[in-house]
A and B are shown apart, each in its own frame.
Chain A
Amino acid sequence: MIISVHIRKCAGTTFKAALTQEFGPKIYMDYGDEVGSSWPSSKTKRLVKHSQMQAQRQALQKNYKIIHGHFYRSKFDFLTVPRDYITFMRDPVARVLSNYYYLKRNKNRKNGDALIVNALGFSLEEYVCHPDCQNLQSQYLQTEDLSEFKFVGLVEHYDASVAELNNQFGLSLPVGPSKNVNQTGSADYDISPETRDLILENNQKDQALYELAQQRMSSWTSAPEYA
């Protein structure tokens, strides 16, 4: 079974559509864990959902080939079938900016980081320093070196990543212009060098993992820009 960890603001819309096209009814979408949030309601939701999932173990294993969604990497450790973990990562500065401005545009959201941004009115600089929002990619992936993951794609090289995923898993996910992805990284956001440094300072683990993912990608023959 494939376990696909969808980190927030990492090509989710495009990749989810591609996976749905490929797997049809064999894909299980698992959203709503509010990964990273230490607000009490988020912790409760995760506990409840986790026990619900465990209760469905047999059905999950029998009916689905892939689980995709927002959850911690270890969530499905209770499954007894072999599991291949996959994910997409993104330049940490671009991801943080995308996440923050997404929340600013969606004022009705009630999850933890939305409370921080919209209900408490945190500025970008304050948001970056909040523990729930630091190193979010590392929080999702729960890894030091990505060794648990068979595949790690990069949002900035979405098509090449999907081609490699197809190659590794014998899939035929569509490639092409990705939806809802800022291909230019953080360049579209007008931030000062100081703010960029602040984001990097608070996302050092994510930056290290992202560089590891870039190194992995450089070894793929299907990524001509790295040849």
Chain B
Amino acid sequence: MMKNKIALVAGFSSTGKSTFIKHVLTPSLYALPNRPDAHSFQVVFGGSASDTSLDFSKNFSIVHYNALVGCDNNVEQLDQLEYSSEPALQSVLGQMKDQYAFLTYTPDPILEARIKARKFVEPEYIQDTTPYPSANVLQVLSQVSQRKLLLEIADQLRSKTDKIFVVVSGLHSAIVVPEFMFRTGQPNALLEAVLTGRSIGNEDLLHFAHHYDEFVFSVARHLSLFQTRVNSELRAVG
């Protein structure tokens, strides 16, 4: 059984952290031979102004970390956002040695549309049906580079782990890429397809992920299964 494991999922608001955790990361974990049992597994929410210390008491924790750290409701705080002293992230970093990090990224034009369409703060896990502050989040997006935020988080992580990946999601597809590919903008056919809003086949996605370790390959596989399901549901709706 897994013990004292952690996976960090971090990204800008509306880039798909909760969706990724619920529909991709969690089933990926349970598909592994040494999966955690339900009682020793938890999703921890970090990245709000009150998170000074997170609880990692379970054997396996997935940390949902909002890269805006409360600034989605308070744009004025953006200037003071400093990950090297941000309590929640530093609390996570203490547990991150050789653990996995997934940074979620969505190109700005697609993200803008998602933010405008979103209704609730967090309907997936904590049933927070507070109206989503779309106007504030859009204002933040116009003033800050989500790429810059992600790379700053990656810089913080690098001293602890090299298992850093970026989940890039577009209009009709998503892909898990190593952080260096995102950082350097390394040309790649599948990444290009996602960035330009095209859909990509499962076989191609899995072929791309074949060199990943067992866990990340499982993540890539569940990501492809999830998008197949979503796309077929969308087709059914017409």
Contacts and interface: CB of A to CB of B under 8 A. Distances in A.
Contacts of B109: 107, 118
* Interface size of B as a range: 10 to 19
Nearest to B170: A119
A40 B185 CA distance: 13
B192 A118 contact: no
Contacts of B195: 115, 119-120
Interface in B16-62: none
A37 B107 CA distance: 19
B110 to A, nearest CB: 9
B187 A121 contact: no
A118 B108 contact: yes
A130 B186 CA distance: 9
Contacts of B107: 118-121
Contacts of A116: 185
A39 B182 contact: no
Interface in B138-153: 145-148
Nearest to A133: B185
B92 to A, nearest CB: 24
A120 B109 CA distance: 11
A37 B188 CA distance: 11
Contact of A121 (B145, B188, B196): B145
A135 B196 CA distance: 25
A41 B192 CA distance: 8
B126 interface: no
B189 interface: yes
Interface in B143-197: 145-148, 182, 184-185, 187-189, 192, 195-196
A122 B187 contact: no
A122 B185 contact: yes
Given A40-B192, A115-B196, A120 B108 contact: no
A132 interface: yes
A115 B147 contact: no
A38 interface: yes
Contacts of A118: 107-109
Nearest to B188: A40
Contacts of B188: 40
A130 B185 contact: yes
A12 interface: no
B228 to A, nearest CB: 23
Contacts of A110: 196
A119 B198 CA distance: 13
A122 B185 CA distance: 8
Interface of A: 37-41, 107, 110, 112, 115-116, 118-123, 126, 130, 132
Interface of B: 107-109, 145-148, 182, 184-185, 187-189, 192, 195-196
20 contacts: A37-B187, A38-B187, A39-B192, A40-B188, A40-B192, A41-B189, A112-B187, A115-B185, A115-B192, A115-B195, A118-B108, A119-B195, A121-B107, A121-B145, A121-B146, A121-B148, A122-B147, A123-B148, A126-B185, A132-B187
Given A41-B192, A120-B185, 11 more contacts: A40-B188, A41-B189, A41-B196, A107-B108, A107-B109, A115-B195, A115-B196, A120-B147, A121-B107, A123-B147, A130-B185
